[in-house]
Amino acid sequence: MTELIEQKASLHFEPYLYFFLNQTHRKEEIQIFFKGRQSVKHLIESLGVPHTEVGRILINSLPAQLSDITRDGDDIDVHAPQPVLQHDTSELNPTFVIDNHLGKLAHYLRLLGFDCYYDSTLDDENLAKITVEEERILLTRDRHLLMRKAINTGYCVRSLQPDLQVIEVIERFALSRQIRPFCRCLNCNHLLHGVEKPTVIDHLLPLTIKYFDEFYQCTHCKQIYWRGSHYDKMSRFIEKIMAQLNHA
Ligand SMILES: [Zn+2]
pLDDT tens digits for range 146-164: 999 999 899 999 999 999 9
From residue 35, give the alpha-carbon distance in Å to each of 8, 45, 71, 147, 168: 9, 16, 10, 21, 38
pLDDT tens digits for range 89-117: 445 689 999 999 999 999 999 999 999 99
Is residue 83 scored above 70 in pLDDT?
no
pTM, two decimal places: 0.90
Mean pLDDT confidence for 131-148: 96
Distance 193 CA to ligand 1 centre (A): 11
pLDDT at res. 90: 47
Distance 116 CA to ligand 1 centre (A): 12
Distance 189 CA to ligand 1 centre (A): 6
* Numbers of helices and strands, H then E, in the chain: 8, 12
Mean pLDDT confidence for 6-10: 96
Distance 224 CA to ligand 1 centre (A): 9
pLDDT tens digits for range 30-55: 999 999 999 999 999 999 999 999 99
CA distance 62 to 93: 33
Distance 187 CA to ligand 1 centre (A): 5
Distance 101 CA to ligand 1 centre (A): 21
pLDDT at res. 4: 83
The overall average pLDDT reported for the chain is: 93
